[in-house]
């Protein structure tokens, strides 16, 4: 599975758990640390946990192992690192504070709507 396919799959898994404001940032031409960020909002700590657990469980079924996980103790910002794709699941107020999509504004940003990725660039 390519990193782009993985980022799309992760966004669909987040959508299945009603993740909100899902964005895929293509970082391939900006950095060597990863190919994509998938940024997701969850309404509460339980919602953030449900999204993170669903992504991890479903990818494990396909033998896609996570390299690293952070933030699971507090559930304000959970990071799931799949090396070529890094998933950020935020509570809305934490997402607003850190504003990763603004920090990486030079990336091609794709919004996921109705469980379908659109190649629309976010201003």
The domain segmentation of the chain, as residue ranges, is 3-115
Closest CA to 80 of 98, 101, 56, 63: 56
Output the pLDDT for position 121: 44
CB count within 10 Å of CB 1 equals: 12
> pLDDT per residue over 55-94, tens digit each?
999 999 999 999 999 999 999 999 999 999 999 999 999 9
The contacts of residue 64 (CB under 8 Å, 6+ apart) are 1, 6, 82
Closest CA to 114 of 38, 24, 26, 11: 11
Residue 121 vs residue 114, higher pLDDT: 114
Q: Is the pLDDT reported for residue 122 higher than 90?
A: no
> pLDDT per residue over 21-36, tens digit each?
999 999 999 999 999 9
Output the pLDDT for position 113: 80
Q: Tell me the CATH number for domain 3-115.
A: 3.30.460.10
Closest CA to 88 of 3, 17, 11, 6: 11
Please state, in angstroms and rounded to a whole number, the distance separating the CA atoms of residues 60 and 66: 8
């Amino acid at each position: 599975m390519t990193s782009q396919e993985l980022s799309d799959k992760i966004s669909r898994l987040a959508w299945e758990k009603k993740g909100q404001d899902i964005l895929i940032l293509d970082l391939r031409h900006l950095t060597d640390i990863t190919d994509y960020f998938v940024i997701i909002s969850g309404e509460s700590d339980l919602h953030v946990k449900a999204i993170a657990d669903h992504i991890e469980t479903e990818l494990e079924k396909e033998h896609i192992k996570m390299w690293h996980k952070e933030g699971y103790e507090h559930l304000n910002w959970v990071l799931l690192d799949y090396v070529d794709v890094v998933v950020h699941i935020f509570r809305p107020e934490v997402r607003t504070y850190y504003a990763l999509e603004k920090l990486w504004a030079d990336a091609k940003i794709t919004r996921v709507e109705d469980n379908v990725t659109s190649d629309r660039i976010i201003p």
